[in-house]
Amino acid sequence: MNQSDIHLVDLPNEILLMILKRLDNINVLYSLMGTFDGQFDILLQDNIFTNTLNMISRSSTDNDDDDIYSIDDQILDRFCIDILPKIHHNVKHLILESMSMKRILLAGNYPNLTSLKLFNFGQNIALNYFTDKSIFQHIFKYQITELILENNDNYDYVGGRILSKEYNNNIYVSILSLFKNLQSLSIVGSFTSSYPPLSIVDLPSITFCSSILTKLCINVRSLDDCLYLLDGRLKQLTIFIVQIRYIYNDLSIIHNTDDLSNLKYFSLTCYNLTNAYDNRMIPLFRRMINLEKLTLYIRITDRHTFVDGTHLHKEILMHMLQLHTFIFYISTIIQINDLVHRLSNNDIQQTFKNIGYYQTSCTVSYCRRSSKAICHVFSLPFAFDRLEVIINRLPIIIFHHITYLTVICNSLITYNENACSSKIVIPSLFSRQHQLFTKKQNFLLNNSSLITYSNIQSYEQNQKSIYNIIIILIPLLIILVVLIVSILVYRNVSIKRCSNIDLTTIRRRSSSIPTLSNDLENKNRECCQYGSNAKPYKISRLPSPHNESIYKEVQRHL
């Protein structure tokens, strides 16, 4: 046989599988199914290509927060008509966009389907399909053991508590009522404020119960809702990942305090400040006697001392004998006076070294005019997507996942007008040329980002006293809040743009800049784009309720 006569189907099955399994299975099935003989189609029905079908596409491949769509209509048509009827019996995991779910599920019986992930999920999907009258009732009720919902609903705050109760019944309660074999449930969204969180404080004790659920990832309204979920109604829960909107220092509700012996992994995130850490959080952690992994993001206020390594070891870690992984970000705001000994970064860092935690970092800032201090401590590498109330300076580390950053600048940040071809030196926020949010060694204007305020006198003279605000993209950054506490003379603003950004919000604190946010919004259409692929720059307010809460919060505490 001549070399020119060798075709793909002539290769041994083992070699074919080695080649094809390196490719996207959706593309393989779409391009090759039905192209050759029936024997080749049988090969394509191997579990490697049919176990998991990812039927979504993204607006780009660079950012997990990009818009999600169903696969191209032409590809979807071919799958529903020709491919899925042949392979549906092998499919165990489906990743779908909600609008195409009905069509895809109707293309086969899927007798082995156990895992379903839905993007752009909303209340309308639950009302139409997550009921006993659903055409997919059999699959949902008896087959699905893992359900992941990327929630895309918006929270109408005008509706208030009434909407929240309705949402609880339509979404959270209906899911556990219908999905009888559910062992893993995750309901997540881009912003925790975008859809109503679970709230079961005022509901019967039999609400949201399961005897087989082992993993739960969910957003709840308050710590009381979290404690209700841990009162025994989810007896087999071993993994609990929870975002809590508010942690109130309210002890009026009496909760079950039994040990949580089944819990192996606990993750708690709360973006709002709390003064209930000592009274309510520490007792909760001490119930987790067999915990093996703990992830904690919490912002604490109204304490007399910082939360440091010594405190964590004594109050929490020494009570978790099975713990082997602790990932954390903890910020503490305390009141200070002239008699208080001022701890340095090294002092705090040493308390973690003393207990064997060497992969940590911290930053301590003292605010004289408010008589308060703030300390941030966190494990390395930084694992979270949010960093708040950073004052003047950041530690010299790389942040890989940040999408939300709050910075308080006590003095102006200078900008090198030739920075598009050189490094940026920012004396106020950074102590040196700084690798802030990128793996690149050079901090380039077109590859990294920060909001910078130019106050270079020579530049001011040359530009007729016009101040320049240069807004650039931090990789992955969605929201940047800059609170300016120094005095600026507001004259005019021009916006230059050097990369794509989805959402940036600037909040002002200085009374010398009375209309900065509004002016930026008005200047939106005048943005200068960089590169042929740049999208229009968008400036908008933070999603409720964050639009004013951060601004007021920093005013109150700092």
Cβ atoms < 10 Å from Cβ of 87? 22
Residue where the block lists tokens 């009905």 = 102
- CB contact at 8 A, 122 and 153: yes
Residue 35 resides in a domain:
yes
Confidence at residue 407, expressed as pLDDT on a 0 to 100 scale = 73
Would you state the pLDDT for residue 476? 54
In a domain, 502, yes or no: yes
- Residue 226 contacts by C-beta under 8 Å, 6 or more apart in sequence? 220, 242, 244, 268
Q: Are the beta carbons of 483 and 406 closer than 8 angstroms?
A: yes
* pLDDT at residue 333, rounded to an integer: 94
**Residue 226 near residue 202 (C-beta atoms within 8 A):** no
DSSP conformation class of 332: E
Query: Alpha-carbon distance 221 to 199, whole Å?
Result: 6
Residue 254 lies in a domain: no
Residue 38's CB: how many other CB atoms inside 10 A? 8
Cα–Cα distance, 482 to 406 (Å, whole number) = 6
Token reading at 310 = 């010594």
Alpha helices in 58-147 (DSSP H): 73-78, 84-87, 98-105, 123-129, 137-138
Tokens of 233: 């109604």
d(CA 410, CA 469): 17
Instruction: Tell me whether residue 501 is in a domain.
Output: yes
Q: Residue 414 is which amino acid?
A: T
CB 25 within 8 A of CB 43: no
> Which H helix or E strand runs over 324?
none
Q: Which residues contact 249 (CB under 8 A, 6 or more apart)?
A: 274, 275, 276, 279, 280
Q: Are 293 and 325 in contact (CB under 8 A)?
A: yes
The pair of three-digit structure tokens given for residue 1, joined into one six-digit string: 């046989």
- At residue 405, the pLDDT reads 77
Alpha carbon distances (Å) from 424 to 45, 179, 334, 399, 413: 54, 54, 34, 17, 10
Q: What is the pLDDT of residue 258?
A: 95
Is 444 part of a structural domain of the chain? yes
Q: Scan for tokens 């940047």, then name that residue.
A: 480
In a domain, 234, yes or no: no
DSSP state letters, 279-297: IIIHHHHHT-TT--EEEEE
Report the run of H or E that residue 79 belongs to, with start and end: none
Which tokens go with 348? Answer: 């705090």
Domain count, the chain: 2
List the beta strands (DSSP E) in 275-419.
Answer: 293-303, 325-335, 360-367, 372-379, 386-391, 404-409
501: how many CB neighbours lie within 10 A of its CB? 21
Question: Cα torsion for 266, 174, 115, 186, to the nearest 10°?
Answer: -30
Amino acid type, 510: S
Strands 467-471 and 451-453 turn out to be antiparallel
User: Is residue 423 situated within a structural domain?
Assistant: yes
Contacts of 63 (CB under 8 A, 6+ apart): 476, 502
Bond preceding residue 545 cis, omega within 30 of 0: yes
Tokens for 449?
Answer: 């980002």
* Domain with 442 in it: 419-557
* Structural domain includes residue 195: no
Mean pLDDT of residues grouped by 10 in the chain (558 residues)? Answer: 61 83 91 81 89 89 68 95 96 97 97 97 93 94 97 67 77 93 92 77 88 97 96 96 95 91 98 96 98 98 95 97 97 87 93 95 86 93 87 72 73 37 33 36 29 35 33 46 43 33 35 34 32 32 39 45
119: Cβ contacts below 8 Å, ≥ 6 apart: 56, 68, 95, 96, 97, 98, 150, 152
Q: Judge contact between 184 and 147, C-beta under 8 A.
A: yes
What does DSSP say about strands 325-335 and 293-303: parallel, antiparallel, or unpaired?
A: parallel
Enter the pTM of the model. Answer: 0.77
pLDDT at position 350 is: 97
The answer to whether 262 and 237 have CB atoms below 8 angstroms apart is yes
Strands 372-379, 360-367: pairing kind: antiparallel
Identify the pLDDT of residue 482. Answer: 55
CA distance 225 to 219: 10
Distance, CA of 15 to CA of 22 (rounded, Å): 11
Other residues' Cβ atoms within 10 Å of the Cβ of residue 440: 12
